[in-house]
């Protein structure tokens, strides 16, 4: 860390959701920020410098040759990209952060697991790294191994907030704000867990500033689905009623889990996923992660989605209406 506190920070990425938020936070704190990417995903934050690189090319990091950094943050999902970045840049970076995922864990069913003790999936084998069959979590395990010891490994959980390209969380404030009868997945006491992109970004910048190393889950504390929906509904001043529908009915009507078309986003069936949304994030919060109120995330995400036409995934209004009609018809 330089004596004036101003870091030369390199983000490998920075043209998308989290990378852009990291750059934005670091620029606001007065750091000197470079974002290295192809420039395909989107724009970088105001105040950051763009360096065009293609990490799929063997010499793709050549535009960074000879540069030194106080901190590097890598968001890649591809082990080969990570290996090349570590070989080319780690000797010239005082601090290294790798953004991983809670999908690296082997056991999704045991509640309350911690990053330092939970078993990991087997890493992707090098020969299938470029295959479409590569499992995201397994590839991230291989990426973490390529980074090695002495780095900050931030295993992010579901990231929410403005500019989310997945549209998962965005579904809920958007749907609740529309009002009326809202289809929601049983049960009210099921856990949901997430982190606002701005909180995660701030913590990653803080980690670089303070030289934090080790493996952490980058996620807030779990809360119940009832609390989650109530906080979102209040935040967007929703005039709605919730109809809780059980797993068997949802699956029988092709309502899908987690994200994407025909999904109820952020719904994972239990008991298979009882551990996925109940990770013990106290170590992260003890190491500097602060989490804002969900109401702020909900309001800001809705405002962004409306202003920018941000993507929303999940059931369409017609699909939801049809499932609710079938639910009521079955119950007479």
Smallest distance, ligand NAP to C-beta of residue 272, A? 19
| Complex with ligand NAP: residue 137 or 185, whichever CB lies closer | 137
Smallest distance, ligand NAP to C-beta of residue 41, A? 3
| Complex with ligand NAP: residue 60 or 185, whichever CB lies closer | 60
Smallest distance, ligand NAP to C-beta of residue 103, A? 7
Which of 253, 248, 242 lies closest to 323 in space, CA to CA?
Answer: 253
| Complex with ligand NAP: residue 35 or 315, whichever CB lies closer | 35
For every residue of 296-309, DSSP letters joined together read HHHHHHHHHHHHHT
Residue 40 tokens read as: 């395909």
Smallest distance, ligand NAP to C-beta of residue 38, A? 3
Smallest distance, ligand NAP to C-beta of residue 57, A? 8
326 SS3 class? helix
| Complex with ligand NAP: residue 263 or 323, whichever CB lies closer | 263
| Count of residues making up the chain | 332
> Phi and psi of 245, rounded to 5°?
-125, 135
Distances (CA, A) of 267 to 186, 241, 323: 9, 18, 16
Query: Where do contacts with ligand NAP occur on this chain (CB under 6 A)?
Result: 13-19, 37-41, 53-56, 75, 77, 99, 101, 156, 158-159, 166
| Complex with ligand NAP: residue 82 or 324, whichever CB lies closer | 82
274-296 burial string, b = 16+ CB within 10 Å, else e?
bbbbbbbbeebeeebbebeebee
Nearest-angstrom CA–CA distance, 315 and 233: 18
178 SS3 class? helix
Decide if 104 contacts 137 (C-beta within 8 A): yes
Which of 129, 118, 189 lies closest to 157 in space, CA to CA?
Answer: 118
Which of 132, 87, 97 lies closest to 22 in space, CA to CA?
Answer: 97
Smallest distance, ligand NAP to C-beta of residue 191, A? 16
Proportion of the chain in helix, strand, coil states, percent, rounded to 5 = 35, 20, 40
Which of 48, 37, 38, 39 lies closest to 201 in space, CA to CA?
Answer: 48
| Complex with ligand NAP: residue 143 or 212, whichever CB lies closer | 143
| Complex with ligand NAP: residue 108 or 186, whichever CB lies closer | 108
| Complex with ligand NAP: residue 55 or 327, whichever CB lies closer | 55
Nearest-angstrom CA–CA distance, 37 and 49: 11
Smallest distance, ligand NAP to C-beta of residue 140, A? 6
| Complex with ligand NAP: residue 64 or 159, whichever CB lies closer | 159
Smallest distance, ligand NAP to C-beta of residue 60, A? 6
Smallest distance, ligand NAP to C-beta of residue 79, A? 13
> Phi and psi of 220, rounded to 5°?
-80, 180
Nearest-angstrom CA–CA distance, 311 and 306: 10
């Amino acid at each position: 860390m330089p004596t004036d506190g101003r870091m030369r920070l390199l983000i490998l990425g920075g043209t998308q959701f989290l990378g852009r938020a990291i750059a934005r936070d670091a620029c606001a704190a007065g750091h000197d920020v470079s974002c290295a990417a192809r420039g395909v995903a989107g724009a970088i934050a105001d105040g950051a410098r763009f360096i065009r690189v293609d990490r799929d090319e063997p010499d793709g990091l050549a535009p960074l040759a000879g540069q030194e950094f106080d901190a590097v943050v890598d968001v890649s999902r591809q082990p080969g990209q990570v290996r090349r970045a570590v070989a080319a840049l780690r000797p010239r970076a005082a601090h290294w952060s790798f953004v991983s995922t809670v999908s690296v864990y082997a056991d999704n069913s045991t509640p309350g697991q911690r990053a330092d003790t939970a078993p990991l999936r087997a890493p992707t084998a090098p020969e299938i790294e470029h295959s479409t069959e590569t499992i995201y979590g397994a590839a991230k395990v291989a990426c973490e191994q390529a980074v090695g010891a002495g780095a900050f490994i931030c295993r992010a959980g579901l990231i929410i907030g403005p500019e989310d390209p997945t549209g998962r969380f965005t579904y809920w404030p958007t749907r609740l704000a529309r009002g009326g009868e809202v289809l929601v997945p049983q049960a009210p006491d099921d856990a949901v867990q997430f982190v606002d992109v701005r909180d995660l970004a701030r913590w990653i910048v803080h980690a670089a500033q303070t030289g934090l190393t080790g493996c952490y889950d980058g996620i807030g504390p779990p809360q119940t689905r009832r609390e989650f929906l109530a906080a979102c509904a209040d935040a967007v001043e929703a005039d709605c009623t919730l109809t809780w529908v059980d797993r068997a009915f949802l699956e029988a009507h092709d309502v899908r889990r987690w994200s994407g078309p025909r999904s109820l986003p952020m719904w994972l069936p239990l008991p298979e996923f009882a551990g996925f949304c109940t990770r013990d994030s106290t170590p992260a919060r003890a190491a500097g992660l602060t989490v804002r109120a969900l109401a702020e995330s909900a309001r800001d995400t809705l405002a962004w989605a409306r202003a920018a036409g941000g993507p929303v995934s999940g059931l369409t209004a017609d699909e939801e209406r049809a499932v609710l009609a079938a639910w009521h018809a079955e119950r007479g």
